[in-house]
Amino acid sequence: MFEVEISRTRLNLSALNYRFAEGDESIGALVSFTGLVRGNGIAAIEVEHYPGMTETVLRKQLESAAKRWPITRGSIVHRIGYLPVSEPIVWVSVASAHRAAAFSACEFLMDFLKVDAPFWKKELDVDGVWNWVEARSQDQSRASRWMGRDAATLI
Amino acid sequence: MFEVEISRTRLNLSALNYRFAEGDESIGALVSFTGLVRGNGIAAIEVEHYPGMTETVLRKQLESAAKRWPITRGSIVHRIGYLPVSEPIVWVSVASAHRAAAFSACEFLMDFLKVDAPFWKKELDVDGVWNWVEARSQDQSRASRWMGRDAATLI
Amino acid sequence: MNILLFAQLRDYYGASSAEYSDDELPLTVEELRRSLASRGSDEFREALLAPNVFCAVNQKVVDLDHTVRVGDEVGFFPPMTGG
Amino acid sequence: MNILLFAQLRDYYGASSAEYSDDELPLTVEELRRSLASRGSDEFREALLAPNVFCAVNQKVVDLDHTVRVGDEVGFFPPMTGG
């Protein structure tokens, strides 16, 4: 069960978490990542994306994760639109029999989401000016860590 | 904010998740681990612990994590008592400004919880017999990975 | 053909897509990019010709020497900043 | 002194703690373990003398050569299996 959702409305983390683990007795480990809008001098952000391409890229990333690690479920839910500070932007969750696969797959998915999924953010600063967010080089290097590594060494 | 709780009653994951992220604008990343009772030929487990020592060990593990990574919050909630299949056993959550620290700290906490926190599990098999769970050598080696590694290389 | 523009590129261009004549195809992504850049403001040209701009053809990121043909969906965008 | 026993050790001993005379202290953990082992069933002795048994003194895991003194809280247990 691999799911991708682009949401215009506030992420209901409780509902997402609740639904995610149900009904599969082989699941022993859930790892969830939630990204929130940080309030470092900003009032809000706005997120846009490339409809169609985004969903394709995220679904492929889930497939890649499932090839590298024995994961049972994976879900990526990403907000678009206007988000005030502390609002959840993204929720990535992975279920597996054991924790090592779930941790690695969840971090892998976030690392690639950051650099390969067509989302763009702008920030509303305290003076009411919108500024596009620059891509961070650390994100690129975090994603590169996964290249050429043998999946087995990461479990 | 670092919290440890030993619970005799079912973990309310929704409430735990909801409460955890609130009220700190510097938090940009939450990583949560939930351990569930797997149904591989068993009907239930029973978890016991060493009251007092458990809380001390877990609190120290949170302090160690906070020394290695810039984490804002950390919470460990562990069930004891009788747990049927698919019931949550443990919930470990870490909040930080950025995701790398939150992922590493959460996995670190789980790795050490497995080998250093005085909990013991027995399993009720399908014939109605209770069997004590043997410690897994993989757990010991996963915890050892963190020894002697420079915190900086893990961020 | 409609060329899709996202984020800063759309803002600088002033529209979320740019019309492009099918008669000029096929072209490489780099040829298309240079041709499109000449149509906009200085800001737009600079942003589109930046070395870190991405091009997706049929919703897949491609290299600058990829050939764009009639019927392809083409999008240009700056580095992604999701999550 | 009351020596606390957990999991299999408690099951084999038949009680969650064992009385131990303060008069015999101080002793090393290893001396205490051997003395306690001689009091139980074969199963208990074997489990307590297993090389992977832990001893906590005042709720901290210690080595076998650690000295146990009057007033210490002592617990023996098998490898931990939480989470």
Q: Is the whole-model pTM more than 0.90?
A: yes
Q: Is the pLDDT of residue D5 over 50?
A: yes
**Chain B contact probe: residue of A12, A19, A31, A123 with most B CBs at under 10 A:** A31
| Tally of CB atoms within 10 A around A15 | 10
Q: Find chain A residues with C-beta within 8 A of C77's C-beta.
A: 50, 118, 120
Q: Is the pLDDT of residue D71 over 80?
A: yes
Cross-chain residue pair C81–A121, CB shorter than 8 Å: yes
Cross-chain residue pair D56–B90, CB shorter than 8 Å: no
Cross-chain residue pair A50–C75, CB shorter than 8 Å: yes
Q: Is the pLDDT of residue B154 over 50?
A: no
A125 touches chain C (CB under 8 A): no
Mean pLDDT to the nearest integer, C8-37:
96
Residue A95: which of C32, C56, B36, B125 has the closest Cα?
A: B36
Please name the residue of chain C whose CA is at the shortest distance from the CA of residue A49: C6
C-beta separation of A55 from A6 below 8 A: yes
C-beta separation of B143 from B116 below 8 A: yes
**Spatial distance between the Cα atoms of A74 and A55, rounded to a whole number of angstroms:** 14
The residue to which tokens 């500024």 are assigned: A131
- pLDDT tens digits along B6-21: 999 999 887 787 778 7
pLDDT, one tens digit for every residue, chain A (155 residues): 899 999 999 998 877 877 787 889 999 999 999 999 999 899 999 999 999 999 999 999 999 999 999 999 999 999 999 999 999 999 999 999 999 999 999 999 999 999 999 999 999 998 999 999 999 888 988 898 888 654 444 44
C-beta separation of B48 from B89 below 8 A: no
Residue B92: which of A21, A90, A30 has the closest Cα?
A: A30
- pLDDT tens digits along D16-54: 999 999 999 999 999 999 999 999 999 999 999 999 999
Percent of chain B with pLDDT over 90: 77
Q: Residue B31 corresponds to which tokens in the numbers above?
A: 């990583």
Instruction: Count helices and strands (H / E) in chain D.
Output: 3, 7
**Spatial distance between the Cα atoms of D19 and C58, rounded to a whole number of angstroms:** 77
Apex D56 CA angle, B151 and B137, nearest 5: 55
Mean pLDDT to the nearest integer, B55-73:
97
pLDDT level of residue B155 (50, 70, 90 thresholds): very low
pLDDT level of residue C33 (50, 70, 90 thresholds): very high
- Per DSSP (E only), the strands in chain C are 2-5, 17-19, 27-28, 54-57, 60-62, 67-68, 74-77
Q: Residue C4 corresponds to which tokens in the numbers above?
A: 């899709």
| Tally of CB atoms within 10 A around C57 | 18
Strand partners, A121: A47
**Spatial distance between the Cα atoms of C47 and B144, rounded to a whole number of angstroms:** 48
Q: Find chain D residues with C-beta within 8 A of B121's C-beta.
A: 81-82
Beta-sheet pairing, B88-96 with B71-79: antiparallel
Cross-chain residue pair B132–D78, CB shorter than 8 Å: yes
Q: Residue A131 corresponds to which amino acid?
A: N
A52 touches chain C (CB under 8 A): yes
Of C7, C52, C83, the CB nearest to A114: C83
Q: Between A and B, how many residue pairs show a Cβ–Cβ distance under 8 A?
A: 101
Percent of chain D with pLDDT over 90: 100
Cross-chain residue pair D83–B114, CB shorter than 8 Å: yes
Q: Is the pLDDT of residue B151 over 70?
A: no
What pLDDT score was predicted for residue A148? 65
- Per DSSP (E only), the strands in B8-49 are 29-36, 42-49
What pLDDT score was predicted for residue B148? 66
**Spatial distance between the Cα atoms of B93 and B50, rounded to a whole number of angstroms:** 22
Strand partners, A117: none
Q: Find chain B residues with C-beta within 8 A of D79's C-beta.
A: 115, 134-135
ipTM tops 0.90: yes
Q: Find chain B residues with C-beta within 8 A of D6's C-beta.
A: 48, 50, 118, 120
For residue D36, the SS3 value is helix
Q: Is the pLDDT of residue B39 over 90?
A: yes
**Spatial distance between the Cα atoms of B79 and B113, rounded to a whole number of angstroms:** 13
Q: Is the pLDDT of residue B149 over 70?
A: no
The residue to which tokens 């139980």 are assigned: D40
Kindly report the nearest CA distance between residue C81 and chain A, in angstroms: 5
Q: Find chain B residues with C-beta within 8 A of D53's C-beta.
A: none
D79 touches chain B (CB under 8 A): yes
Containing D32, the helix (H) or strand (E) segment is helix D29-37
Are chains C and D touching, using the cut-off of 8 Å on CB pairs and a minimum of 3 such pairs? no
B13-16: list long-range contacts, CB under 8 Å, 24+ apart: B13/A17, B13/A18, B13/B88, B13/B91, B14/A14, B14/A17, B14/A18, B16/B75, B16/B77, B16/B91, B16/B93
- pLDDT tens digits along B107-131: 999 999 999 999 999 999 989 999 9
Strand partners, A7: A79
Helices (DSSP H) in chain A: which residue ranges?
A: 13-20, 53-68, 99-116, 137-144, 151-154
What pLDDT score was predicted for residue A149? 55
